[in-house]
Amino acid sequence: MADAPIGNKGFISDLDIRIFLRDTDPDANTLLLDQEFSQEELRTAWTLAVDKWNETPPTVSTFDIYTFPWRYHLLLQVTSNLLWIAANRYRRNNLKYQIEGGAVDDQDKATPYEAAAERMAARFDSWMATKKIEINVTLGFGWI
What residue numbers bound the domain in which 112 lies?
Answer: 14-133
Give pLDDT tens digits for 74-109.
999 999 999 999 998 888 876 677 678 776 666 668
Listed in sequence order, the DSSP H helices in the chain are 14-21, 39-55, 71-93, 110-141
pLDDT at 1: 36
Higher pLDDT, 4 or 124: 124
Give pLDDT tens digits for 130-139.
999 999 998 8
Structural domains in the chain (count): 1
Give the number of other CB atoms < 10 A from CB of residue 3.
Answer: 10
What percent of the chain is predicted at pLDDT more than 70?
Answer: 78
Query: Is 1 inside a domain boundary?
Result: no
